[in-house]
Amino acid sequence: MKLLEDRIQRDGVVKAEGVLKVDGFLNHRIDIELLDAMGAEFKRLFADAPINKILTIEASGIGIACMAARHFDNAPVVFAKKAQSINLDGEMYRTRIQSFTHGKVFDVIVSKKFIGPDDHVLIIDDFLANGCALNGLLEIVEAAGATVEGIGIAVEKGFQPGGASLRERGYHLESLAIVDAMDPTTGQITFRQAGEP
Ligand code: G4P
Ligand code: NA
Ligand code: NA
């Protein structure tokens, strides 16, 4: 999506160790018009899917998911919650997510009240790197007996393995921008072009 790529080129900051900061428009201050356009693009990309629920994970996925939901007939948004450790009471789907960026393991929970077998789910998140967060969300959808209609990502880091692995497993994954290379010295960012593998 050219609008997002241009914004990343303009306002994104390349940090060491493959981290892209997008605090100016996505992760801290939020550009609502950009998010709205991203939501419209997700709708175009998943137009044929019978999506009735959007699932994301706190915190940064929530805003993107909520704006996208406006383009999917106001489908309800459910966000998975992170907890350091919880006692399972049977009312929650739970999975564990290892965050490489933060070097922590989280319990991630979704109430059984809010996802079930009738749901056709679009999973949304801001970043796709190693795919740990996505895998956790996929486990929860599966445990709920719901259907994964697709995965929509704002920024995929194509030099990390999450995206390739999810596509190989057959998921309909659409990333609005795929960063194939970043140079922290020059700040140069290279995007994958449409049609490139
Ligand atoms: P993974 O889920 O794909 O395996 O990624 P990883 O564990 O490395 O990511 C941990 C967190 O860092 C995730 O957010 C993810 O969205 C975010 N992240 C990964 N790479 C980048 C990056 O290059 N730039 C930015 N800005 N974020 C990145 P989180 O901490 O779990 O959630 P949130 O509360 O920040 O949304
Ligand atoms: Na995130
Ligand atoms: Na994040």
Residues contacting 76, CB < 8 A, separation 6+: 53, 54, 69, 114
Q: How many residues does the chain have?
A: 197
- The binding site for 5-phospho-alpha-D-ribose 1-diphosphate consists of 129-133
pTM, whole model, 2 decimals?
A: 0.96
Annotated binding site: 20, 27, 129-133, 157
Assigned CATH for 36-182? 3.40.50.2020
Distance, CA 101 to ligand 1 centroid (Å)? Answer: 6
Q: Which residues pair with 128 in a beta bridge?
A: 156
Would the CB of 165 count as within 6 Å of ligand 1? no
Amino acid at 13: V
Nearest CA to ligand 1 atom 36: 60
What one-character-per-residue DSSP string does 25-64 give?
A: IIISS--HHHHHHHHHHHHHHTTTS---EEEEETTTHHHH
Ligand 1 pocket check for 59: Cβ under 6 Å: yes
For residue 178, the surrounding DSSP H or E stretch is strand 173-182
What string of pLDDT tens digits covers the 197 residues of the chain? 999 999 999 999 999 999 999 999 999 999 999 999 999 999 999 999 999 999 999 999 999 999 999 999 999 999 999 986 666 677 999 999 988 777 888 899 999 999 999 999 999 999 999 999 999 999 999 999 999 999 999 999 999 999 999 999 999 999 999 999 999 999 999 999 987 77
Domain extents for the chain? 36-182
